[in-house]
Amino acid sequence: MLFFQNRIPAFRTRIGLLAVALQLLFSLGSQAIDPKATGFRAAVVKVDVTPEGHQMLLGYGARRSTGVLDRIYHRITVLDDGKTQFVLVSSDFAVVSPSEYDKVAAKLKSQLGIDPVNFWWTLTHTHSAPEVGPPGLPALFMGDRYQHKFDTDYTDMVEKKLIDGVAEARKKLEPARLGVGWGMAQANINRRAKGVDGKAFLGMDPDGPVDRRIGLIRLDKADGTPMALISNYAIHGTVMGGENLLISGDAPGVVAQYVEEQLGIPLLFINGAAGNIAPIYSQYANHKIGRLHQFKTLLGDKIIAANQSLKATTADISLKTARMIVETPRKADLGWVDDLKDYTRTNKAGVNIVKLPVRFLQINDDIAIWSAPLELFCEISNEVRDRSPFPYTFYFGYGNGWLGYLLTAEEITHGGYEVTVSPYTPAAAKDLTDSVVNHLQGKK
């Protein structure tokens, strides 16, 4: 345009004005007609959040780190179908309070205009990573563990790197394709061992309920070259035990790093309903004699095999998000914590209620993903999957905070550790299952 104007400076005024107008139109509207801004786009970013100094570790009893075994990360993906932009974050931490999620979600809304319904922050549930933010509900059950203040400087860094990572991913959005598939790994086991008296304790139950499916989503670039994997598998991050003082992503982090080294693309490890599921090697005091490395083959190679069997991807992608609040009674005479006042209420009958936020992501007509801030027992997510009309139904656990263990009514009768850190009554499993299934089936 400038070349045209310089060659014919005396062109008639109205034509000149038209040229200026067209130039302005192209300048202001370039993104609207940019082919990269239409159709399905995606991007992924990996951000190191390993602390510089020693930190209080979350998981087991209160203890301070002495070093780093393996580095920990935010892994961030942004999906955009031209109408809906969805942000998924997988971070190598145990849990955060829903109030911490709300704080970060509010910042993303203010700074980047992202609606919280489209921002999911999931945790891999490693028990060897630092605390982030206030304790939230765990302080109600394990008050002795929190006789210290959380590190605000480290929390601020974690928050800033997450927000900056999302902003970076949005800038990197490019045309993409998406595929979905299943895999299977026998890297986990039911951990609710039971004695002859029927009482449960932390151990191994080879005959107990388990979920060994790997749910896999692959993102490719427009030319079919791989961009990233999203892997969904239920496993506690407890290969390393409470005596370990080295920061680690535990099995989820080690597996993610291994797959990334093998395939050359990021892997977002999304934990599932791991409330009663442990790694088959668990709670080692010393990483040198532990079995972290074995999960590279037990689970990492199985993720790679699932990826190899995933043949078809498509650029024709539609994203649809939704949310609901599932209300269920909380245990009688159980208190609450001040920073979670928005997650409870008292009904007209005087019953204290827990308000459970549940999120949904539907991708086209065959993928349904739901998430909740729960340490969910696998029987519940298994039933939801079995009753779902979507052939690919995934549960993304430890999502957007932690509101305790949610057990089946049957398992509550056996007692055990998980019952002591659950705010729910035996009605909760049915309340949650029915609400989620009704939503997936399109019922009100």
pLDDT computed for residue 38 by the predictor? 62
pLDDT computed for residue 289 by the predictor? 74
Question: Rounded to the nearest 5 degrees, what angle is found at the Cα of 412, between the Cα atoms of 125 and 234?
Answer: 25
| List of residues 6+ apart from 61 with CB closer than 8 A | 145, 242
- What does each of the 444 residues of the chain score in pLDDT, given as a tens digit? 332 233 333 333 343 433 433 343 333 333 333 334 569 999 999 999 999 999 999 999 999 999 999 999 999 999 999 999 999 999 999 999 999 999 999 999 999 999 999 999 999 999 999 999 999 999 999 988 898 999 999 999 999 999 999 999 999 999 999 999 999 999 999 999 999 999 999 999 999 999 999 999 999 999 999 999 999 999 999 999 999 999 999 999 999 999 999 999 999 999 999 999 999 999 998 877 779 999 999 999 999 999 999 989 999 999 999 999 999 999 999 999 999 999 999 999 999 999 999 999 999 999 999 999 999 999 999 999 999 999 999 999 999 999 999 999 999 999 999 999 999 999 999 999 999 999 999 986
What is the model's pTM? Answer: 0.90
How distant is the alpha carbon of residue 402 from its chain centre? 12
Q: Which residue numbers belong to the known binding site? A: 125, 236
Q: Which residue numbers belong to the known binding site for Zn(2+)? A: 125, 236
Tokens at residue 219, please? 């993102």
Sign of CA dihedral 106, 111, 114, 119: negative
Q: Please give the Cα distance from 216 to 232 (Å, whole number).
A: 6
